[in-house]
């Protein structure tokens, strides 16, 4: 897309060599042709005025006007009365932007997990919060600030987590980060510096993400099985790990909540092993048919690193998250953040703080809970009609479910066949450390699919879910 400028003239990097003996006009014409042919100047892009380009290159304005006139005659440039000189259509035949772009086929429904309803992002509220933040933000905070994050956001987040998640949150022990992946990476590097050599993680879970973060920190990643009560703490105790990543509120991807006895056993393991728990507070904001479960961090703040983000509650593109740090790890984690990127953008932090303080964040969450509850109901209704024998679990919270395919089903075949019918499906095998495709299961994300799309998508693949031949209607 060509750049759009204000009334001031755009800059353009061109060079002329006065020692080459080649005429300056010829050099300027060659430089402009080359910039247009290679796509450095795109179709429709505005060129500097002849006066500004002459000033920048130290040439006469008449020479630049002659150059522009020549390129206009050759069809490289176009101009209209009262308008700037621009690159003509068809002049950048060899440019990258002129190459045909291929787009993925449009899907009837894409049940991709982990994606909230992107169309429901509260644009007007966010614009309001950004304006408020820009007006209120102290001048000194436009400088490099505290690597832990702005004091205002840390205080607001601490209060919010104490109120909503029963967390033992102290603003002095919170580090703002750029989402979950960075928070996990910072935590593992700080633990590695403290002598931790292995981190355990739930299986199924996020093996690729954990393995990448562990490798970057110089640690070993160890899978530990999950059952209907959550992570198997006895199996965890049999490993050499002194850190573990868990999703106790709504286990990813099975959807189970960590049972009370497992929560206590996990904390006991951490105390006995001198170990640390990294709690990903996954999907804690969205629950339907069970009572809310407080954060594990509130039970043992000295042993739990709490990770949270606004990726699910608002949008992944904001790239804002936080870590509630054990007191002994607060400074090492702040140092890791400082070395990583010197801090998360301050203006965005102030905007998020204003959004939460104003009550607009809570209002948005209430609206989204209703939206996801309706989509959950649509998914259950569609499955009840078209695949009534298909077991579905993990729907107590969040916006994904696990569909258990028939015993003889081929997970990869079902996914491929569904894609041929313009329905995006995703298998549990990706979430297993072994990548085993049995038992065959699908992780159905419904956060970014409309109720109509859910119904149409399930209808289109009903035979794939049940293993029965596709019915035909006369």
pLDDT in tens, 323-346: 999 999 999 999 999 999 999 999
3-state SS of the chain is: CCCCCCCCCCCCCCCCCCCCCCCHHHHHHHHHHHHHHCCCCCCCCECCCHHHHHHHHCCCHHHHHHHHHHHHHHCCEECCCCCCCEECCCCCCCCHHHCCCCCCCCCCEECCCCCCCHHHCCHHHHHHHHHHHHHHCCHHHHCCCCCCCCHHHHHHHHHHHHHHHCCCCCHHHEEEECCHHHHHHHHHHHHHHCCCCEEEEEECCCHHHHHHHHHHHCCEEEEEEEECCEECHHHHHCCCCCEEEECCCCCCCCCCCCCHHHHHHHHHHHHHHCCEEEEECCCCCCECCCCCCCCHHHCCCCCEEEEEECCCCCCHHHCCEEEECCHHHHHHHHHHHHHHHCCCCHHHHHHHHHHHHCCHHHHHHHHHHHHHHHHHHHHHHHHHHHCCCCCEECCCECCEEEEECCCCCCHHHHHHHHHHCCEECCEHHHHCCCCCCCCCEEEEECCCCCHHHHHHHHHHCHHHHHCCCCCCCC
Handedness of CA 432, 436, 438, 440 (dihedral sign): positive
Q: Does the domain made of 24-98 have the CATH classification 1.10.10.10?
A: yes
Position of tokens 């999907």? Answer: 283
For 211-220, write each residue's pLDDT tens digit. 999 999 999 9
* Residue 212, CA atoms < 13 Å, CB-side half-sphere: 6
pLDDT at 471: 60
Q: Which pLDDT band holds residue 6 (cuts at 50, 70, 90)?
A: very low
Task: Indicate the pTM of the whole model.
Answer: 0.86
pLDDT at 103: 65
CATH class of 121-362: alpha beta
As to burial, measured by CB atoms within 10 angstroms (0-12 exposed, 13-18 middle, 19+ buried), residue 289 is exposed
For 12-54, write each residue's pLDDT tens digit. 888 889 888 899 999 999 999 999 998 889 898 999 999 999 9
Q: Which pLDDT band holds residue 99 (cuts at 50, 70, 90)?
A: low
Res 375 pLDDT > 80: yes
Pick the CATH number of 110-115+367-466 from 3.90.1150.10, 3.40.920.10, 1.10.15.40, 3.30.70.100: 3.90.1150.10
Q: Where are the domains of the chain?
A: 24-98, 110-115+367-466, 121-362
Q: Look at residues 348, 344, 347 and name the one whose alpha carbon lies nearest to residue 178.
A: 344
Res 470 pLDDT > 90: no
The phi and psi torsions of 110 (rounded to 5 degrees) equal: -120, 105
């Amino acid at each position: 897309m060509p750049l759009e400028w204000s009334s001031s003239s755009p800059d353009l990097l061109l060079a002329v060599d006065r020692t080459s003996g080649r005429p300056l006009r010829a050099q300027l014409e060659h430089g402009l042709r080359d910039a247009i042919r290679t796509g450095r100047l795109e179709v429709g892009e505005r060129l500097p005025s002849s006066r500004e380009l002459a000033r920048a290159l130290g040439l006469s304005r008449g020479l630049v006007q002659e150059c522009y006139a020549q390129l206009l005659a050759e069809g490289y440039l176009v101009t209209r009365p009262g308008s700037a000189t621009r690159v003509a259509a068809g002049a950048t035949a060899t440019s990258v932007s002129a190459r045909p772009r291929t787009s993925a086929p449009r899907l009837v429904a894409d049940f991709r997990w982990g994606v909230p309803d992107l169309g429901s992002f509260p644009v007007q509220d966010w614009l309001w919060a950004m304006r408020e933040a820009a007006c209120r933000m102290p001048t000194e905070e436009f400088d490099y600030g505290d690597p832990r994050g702005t004091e205002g956001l840390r205080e607001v987040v601490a209060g919010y987590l104490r109120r909503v998640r029963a967390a033992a949150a102290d603003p002095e022990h919170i580090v703002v980060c750029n989402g979950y992946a960075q928070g996990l990476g910072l935590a593992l590097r700080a633990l590695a510096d403290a002598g931790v050599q292995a981190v355990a993680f739930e299986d199924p879970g996020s093996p690729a993400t954990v393995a990448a973060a562990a490798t970057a920190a110089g640690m070993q990643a160890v899978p530990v099985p999950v059952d209907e009560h959550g992570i198997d703490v006895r199996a965890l105790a049999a490993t050499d790990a002194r850190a573990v990543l868990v999703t106790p509120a709504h286990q990813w991807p099975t959807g189970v909540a960590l049972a009370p006895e497992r929560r206590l056993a996990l904390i006991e393991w951490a105390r006995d092993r001198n170990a640390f728990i990294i709690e990903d507070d996954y999907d804690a904001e969205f629950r339907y048919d069970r009572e809310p479960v407080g954060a594990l961090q509130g039970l043992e703040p000295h042993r739990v690193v709490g990770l949270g983000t606004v990726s699910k509650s608002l949008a992944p593109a904001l790239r804002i998250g936080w870590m509630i740090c054990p007191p002994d790890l607060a400074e090492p984690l702040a140092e890791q953040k400082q070395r990583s990127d010197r801090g998360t953008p301050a203006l965005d932090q102030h905007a998020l703080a204003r959004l939460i303080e104003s009550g607009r964040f809570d209002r948005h969450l209430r609206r989204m809970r209703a939206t996801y509850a309706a989509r959950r109901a649509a998914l259950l209704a569609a499955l009840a009609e078209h695949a009534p024998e298909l077991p579905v679990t993990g729907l107590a919270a969040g916006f994904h479910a696990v569909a258990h395919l028939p015993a003889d089903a081929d997970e990869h075949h079902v996914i491929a066949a569904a894609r041929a019918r313009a329905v995006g499906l995703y298998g549990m095998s990706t979430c297993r450390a072994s990548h085993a495709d049995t038992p065959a299961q699908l992780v159905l994300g419904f956060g970014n699919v409309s109720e109509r799309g859910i119904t149409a998508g399930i209808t289109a693949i009903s035979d794939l879910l049940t293993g029965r031949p596709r019915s035909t209607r006369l």
